[in-house]
Amino acid sequence: MPRLFRNRMVLAGGVVLVLLAVVAVFAPWLAPHDPLGVNLADALLPPSAAYPLGTDPLGRDVLSRLIFGTRISLVIGCIAVGISVVVGMAVGALAGFYGGWVDAVLMRLVDTLLSIPTIFLLLAIIAMDPAEQLLQLGRLPLVGGLIAGLLRVVDPQIVILMAAIGLMSWMGVARLVRAEILSLKEREFVLAARVIGCSSWRLITRHLLPNAMAPVLVSATLGVGGAILLESLLSYLGLGVQPPTPSWGNILNEGRVALGVAWWLTLSPGVCILVTVLSFNLLGEGIREWLERQ
Amino acid sequence: MWSAECGVRSTGLSFPIPHSPFRIRDIVMASYLIRRVLGFVPVLFLITVISFGIMHLAPGKPTDAAMSFNPKVSLEARQRLEKLYGLDRPLHVQYAQWLSRTARVDFGRSFLDDRPVTEKIVERLPITLTINVCSLLLILGIAIPLGVTAAVRPGRWFDRVSTVFVFIGYSTPSFWLALFCIALFGVTLRWLPISGVHSLDYEAFGSVHRWLDMGWHLILPVGIAAFGGLAGISRFMRSSMVEVLQQDYIRTARAKGLPERRVLFHHGLRNGLLPVITILGLSVPDLIGGAVIAETIFSIPGMGRLFYEAVMARDYPVVMALVTIGGVLTMLGNFFADVAYAYADPRIRVGAAESR
């Protein structure tokens, strides 16, 4: 492990991401103002000592909103990728392990989802207003209470965003895992495991998937950056995180309205997205390099 | 050059084909293409299922949206409309009807203005195709020289600098860059127009002036649409070229004293470009996605903006049509990439024939 941090890309990306995680966790203590506090007297002020990054059209402090936006972006990015990794590994493992028609059907599904532009599917899903549907699920017996409880803590729109982005980006992971498993299952340790009477489930989860994790780790790290880009794009288009909840994307949306007047509204959220996505990409590429040396 | 005899040997076709007007390479190529086309059929089917599913998974009936624009619609009229769209039938019958209409390029009528969807799309297609083709040419025009120059001396300053730029480019949200360009070139410097495709006094211009005016308006959108794909393709070009330049035949070419220029461009680039063809085919969805972003931000009346507007207004016939067309365009892109690749690289079509 110490060797890993000798890689400069891993080091640079990792340090920035740790800092961002700290900002996200301690957001309430770090933010100088209330991110939701409307103060029309201070609307659209340029950066100053009181407001280091200026204020938005409602007089809210941009720095505080960016700090709270870090939470949203990191959480949505990581959970969306978590979903895509779980789905991708399941699909890839089934297709690679069983082959035949299972493989054919699953891989055609992958081809199909890859051939429709992601942004088309995301916009179409989100415009169906699934948040309403999700709230209806709270009425179900047994699991209903759990779902309702979850939705009281987390904004349903954010749940939808994470699920939609995750479910639209597992195809790459599925292809990777399938390819790994196709080559792994010819190896002798798999035969040995079979001989001692391993079930297929145990073979997949204990022997094959752990050995296929390396490329998935790289792809997942790069994927978080992509998910954050998608989230900010959707929020920018007004379909993602809804105001007043701050997210980097919807601050940019407010910045668009005040484009010629308030440059500070456009500059800082963009830099936040750029730095975060860049760090995830550096970390991912660094891990790839490190794995290739091993 | 690839000869018929060679094809006979390596495809295992040991018998000659007497008096045939076709050469074996044509037959191998044709059978390869037919298999590729057949491979697209299930994907095409799934694309239509997904497009259809979008409309029917949506909450409420699709006609609710059409009705909400006119509160005076009676129950009777609602039932008439449902009958028109076949919504009173079972789902699989509805799908079959929709599919058979779609196969005849009839996507029904828009909920918003009751015009045929096909007509709405066709009038917006040219501008989107123009943006996509221009941005593709721009991507190739920048990415290939960039990748090749970086690959000639890997690890040296040009390679390092371009790698840094590629990383930053890859991580930059293109919609943010678009906002930035609008603020800088449009609002502050006033060099470039920031929305639409024509100036206001467009009607008064001569034909040359009209083209120039349109080109003027497209500089920013094309630049932004190209930006998204630039980083990935130049990186890919670099790694492909680095790999090719390590091959034995490059050393042979250098050893027999060919000028470096010829080694690079004749022996190196021709082989290095091959994998890029495939990537171009795969990047069609990204190009379309980039057009949605560029058209939305720059208010360009193309397919991408039509999609955004249709989604916002729940105009399902238009959404379904565009999802289907987007998928089909991607498949066409992949197909042409396959054809180009098989044409350029005999190993592909023969390898595919042998693996049968």
- Per-residue pLDDT of A61-81, as tens digits, reads 889 999 999 998 999 999 999
Judged by a CB distance cut-off of 8 A, whether residue B183 touches chain A is yes
Q: How far is Cα A148 from Cα A134, in angstroms, rounded to an integer?
A: 9
Residue B8 pLDDT: 40
Nearest by CB to residue B179, choosing from A127, A259, A274, is A259
Q: Is A43 exposed, middle or buried (0-12, 13-18, 19+ CB in 10 A)?
A: middle
Tell me the average pLDDT across B64-75. Answer: 59
Count other C-beta atoms under 10 Å from residue A159's C-beta.
Answer: 18
Provide the H-helix boundaries in B246-283.
Answer: 248-255, 260-262, 270-272, 274-282
Which of A107, A110, A119 is the best mutation test for B, with the most CBs of B within 10 A? Answer: A119
Residue scoring higher pLDDT (B209 or A166) = A166
- Residue B61: pLDDT band (50, 70, 90) is low
Q: In angstroms, what separates the C-alpha of A276 from chain B's closest C-alpha?
A: 8
Q: How far is Cα A90 from Cα B146, in angstroms, rounded to an integer?
A: 39
**Total H helices, total E strands in chain A:** 15, 0
Phi, psi angles (nearest 5°) of residue A238: 85, 10
Nearest by CB to residue A252, choosing from B46, B179, B288, is B179
- Residue A107: pLDDT band (50, 70, 90) is very high
Question: Is B331's CB within 8 Å of A115's CB?
Answer: yes
Judged by a CB distance cut-off of 8 A, whether residue A132 touches chain B is yes
Find the range with the poorest average confidence among B7-11, B272-276, B322-326. B7-11
Residue B338 pLDDT: 83
Which of B36, B311, B331 is the best mutation test for A, with the most CBs of A within 10 A? Answer: B311
- Residue B349: pLDDT band (50, 70, 90) is low
Contact in structure between A216 and A57 (CB atoms under 8 Å): no
pLDDT of B202 higher than 80: no
Q: Residues of A with CB below 8 A from B172's CB?
A: 274, 277
As for the ipTM of the complex, it is 0.87
Question: Is A116's CB within 8 Å of B326's CB?
Answer: yes
Residue B63 pLDDT: 61
**Facing residues of B109 across strands?**
B116
Q: What is the mean pLDDT of chain B?
A: 80
Residue scoring higher pLDDT (B18 or B6) = B18
DSSP string, A215-240: HHHHHHHHHHHHHHHHHHHHHHTTSS
- Rounded to the nearest 5 degrees, what angle is found at the Cα of B9, between the Cα atoms of B3 and B10? 90
Question: Is B50's CB within 8 Å of A260's CB?
Answer: no
Tell me the average pLDDT across A130-138. Answer: 73
pLDDT of B334 higher than 50: yes
DSSP string, A154-212: S-HHHHHHHHHHHHTS-HHHHHHHHHHHHHHTTSHHHHHHHHTT--HHHIIIIIIHHHT
Count other C-beta atoms under 10 Å from residue A12's C-beta.
Answer: 15
Q: How far is Cα A91 from Cα B29, in angstroms, rounded to an integer?
A: 33
Contact in structure between B175 and B293 (CB atoms under 8 Å): yes
Q: Chain A, 227-256: which have a CB under 8 Å from a chain B CB?
A: 229, 232-233, 236-237, 252, 255-256
Residue A148 pLDDT: 79
Find the range with the poorest average confidence among A44-58, B7-21, B141-155, B320-334. B7-21
Question: Is B285's CB within 8 Å of A233's CB?
Answer: no
DSSP string, A195-206: HTT--HHHIIII
Phi, psi angles (nearest 5°) of residue B109: -115, 150
Find the range with the poorest average confidence among A112-116, A258-262, B76-80, B207-211. B76-80
pLDDT of B7 higher than 50: no
